[in-house]
Amino acid sequence: MTAEVVEAADVFPLLDWHWELEITGKCQLVCQHCCTDSGPNVGHGTMSTSEWLTLITDAKALGSRSVQLIGGEPTMHPDFAELLAHAIDAGLDVEVYSNLVNVRDEWWELLSSPRVNLATSYYSDDPAQHATVTGRRASHARTRANIAEALKRGIPLRAGIVDIFNGQRVEQARTELEAMGVTSIGTDRVRGIGRAAATIPDVSQLCGQCGRGKASISPDGNVRPCLMARWMTAGNVLESSLVDIVNSSTWRRLVSTIPSPRADGTRCKPDANTCKPTQGDGSDCAPASRPACNPRFCSPELNPSPKRPGSR
């Protein structure tokens, strides 16, 4: 009697995949370096709430491990709480990437789920400098207050500082965050993508992990190797399945053009926060610079979120 060996990939074709779900293009800020070109006048896209819910269900059923709710500003989606709750109930680990300018009181219970991590951007300890980047005068105080609230509630939070202009108080911002209790802080240069693009798109601006076990889905359903790879659309979930898109020749061709991370011989341990590059590398893991370290996320900060003890 022989037993047929069934490969995990056959049962779960998207095993351990991570999805960046860009649920809206709308954002109350107008950050000058925004990689998605979001803003107050941008809409929520053509993906309906029911289509996002189905997508989340399918991603989990196919073996996916985690999702990131991002935008735009994800909390500006009218059904943000429903989408977050559904991802949690589906058994996915969720990162909410938010500017933390506006967090409703009723959301904190959801955000305190053991499956949820928060991520945010911070630009300076000086409110005026922070506002220069975001275009909104009160943004520093609001973001800072909600960082403090998240930490008080024990919600894992990572913060990223993007170095944008000369004289920006980057190190002072890091010091302030550390004093508040933030332990996962990354720094990065401005990527030549989105509003910051000065030339044609360049794959060297990507982290190198794009499309390899992770992908991004836009508000209109376009599937790309990464949130930042705006020019690399391989298909649309309103027309094809996730599995068909990431197994397509178009997907393979696009991903093959992205330089792979170059291992430095040290095993990356995201939960231990050991894959942060050196400051000399700009902490950006860019494959075009020094050897990358297999970053988990392709968002600007590229540092893994800390996990609660006992979380999966």
Which residue ranges make up each domain of the chain?
Answer: 12-281
The pLDDT of residue 204: 61
Sign of the C-alpha dihedral computed for residues 253, 254, 257 and 258 taken in this order = negative
The pLDDT of residue 36: 63
What are the structure tokens assigned to 117, written together? 């991590």
The pLDDT of residue 5: 39
User: What does R_g of the chain's alpha carbons equal in angstroms?
Assistant: 19
The pLDDT of residue 198: 43
Cis peptide before 45 (omega within 30 of 0): no
For the packed helices 139-152 and 170-180, what is the interaxial angle rounded to 10 degrees?
30
pTM confidence score: 0.79
CA 80 to CA 76: how far, in whole Å?
A: 7
The predicted-structure confidence for 203-233, as pLDDT tens digits, reads as follows 565 665 677 888 999 999 999 988 877 778 9
CA 109 to CA 106: how far, in whole Å?
A: 7
The DSSP secondary-structure symbol of 5 reads P
Low-confidence residues in the chain, pLDDT < 70: 1-11, 33-38, 189-209, 261-312
Q: Measured at the alpha carbon of residue 77, what is the angle toward residues 146 and 217, in degrees to the nearest 5?
A: 105
The CATH number that domain 12-281 falls under is: 3.20.20.70
